[in-house]
Structure 1
């Protein structure tokens, strides 16, 4: 077996290839609920955090407030998320509606199926190793400090 002593090819390209395949895998299953995987993830975070200020939700998701606002709009229009007044007149909270909770449960069933299929395809050991490698890489890259990557 040929042992490589240095990476060949572009790491960014390889990671993007993997992301496209993983996204297609999850999207194919989660879409059976009428949601995109990104919408399911957003519902999941709102459910986990409870009524939450959009700025805190954006921070948790590592996205800008404007991106979050765009992503929330279809979920609000569908009646799955509601915006309400926060602690003062200037703040808002977002929360799941009962319909949003039901949609999340439906999508979670499909997400679990996608995860089980992925575990079977790759093997649980490989999935665990992938999670560990991703977590360690994010920590080493300083996931919250993109400025370091520009040097």
Structure 2
């Protein structure tokens, strides 16, 4: 006989039905799939769109703040940048203030892709917000920001 503890199946069901992390992950994956499909004609994934949009600034940002904004570590950001660099959408340049650091620049081609993608994102975003059952997208957004 095993002395292994037993977790009743009712507990499994309780966790399935109440776990905020599980429900947030499922919603995030569903949203990611939806935006991936919508942005495909622009040649972007939702993650690439977010990354390009994060670089749409007057000055090329350092990697650290971009990674923080996108909730990524620097290694993950570096990996996400590679296909965008290969396509000529982003350039990674030495930081003139700190030669050890890197600055991320949205290229002209990157901006052109972003310009094509923005109306797609806007329309998809309007559709998603309209499907929020409570009708209060701002409250949901603020709750998610507060958790982050």
Range class of TM-score, shorter chain: 0.7 to 0.9
The SS at the match of 1:125 is coil
Question: What residue in structure 1 maps to residue 88 of structure 2?
Answer: 79
Cα gap change, 1:112/1:49 in structure 2, threshold over 3 Å: closer, same or farther?
same
Cα gap change, 1:18/1:81 in structure 2, threshold over 3 Å: closer, same or farther?
same
CA distance in 1, matches of 2:55, 2:124: 21
Cα gap change, 1:20/1:92 in structure 2, threshold over 3 Å: closer, same or farther?
closer
Q: Which moved more, 1:116-125 or 1:19-28?
A: 116-125
CA distance in 2, matches of 1:118, 1:125: 11
Residues 1:92 and 2:102 are matched in the alignment: yes
Residues 1:41 and 2:50 are matched in the alignment: yes
User: TM-score by structure 2 length?
Assistant: 0.78
CA distance in 2, matches of 1:65, 1:83: 13
Ranked by relative contact order (alpha carbons within 8 Å, sequence separation 6 or more), the top structure is 1
Q: Which runs of 4+ in 1 moved over 4 A?
A: none
CA distance in 1, matches of 2:138, 2:68: 26
User: TM-score by structure 1 length?
Assistant: 0.76
Which digits, 9 at most, give the CA deviation of each residue in 1:74-119, with x for residues without a partner?
A: 0000000012232143332110110000011111111011111112
Bigger Rg, structure 1 or 2? 2
CA distance in 2, matches of 1:10, 1:90: 42
- CA-atom RMSD in angstroms: 2.3
Question: What residue in structure 2 maps to residue 29 of structure 1?
Answer: 38
Which structure dedicates a bigger proportion of its chain to helix? 1
1:102 to 112, 115, 119: 112
Runs (5+) with no aligned partner, structure 2: 1-13
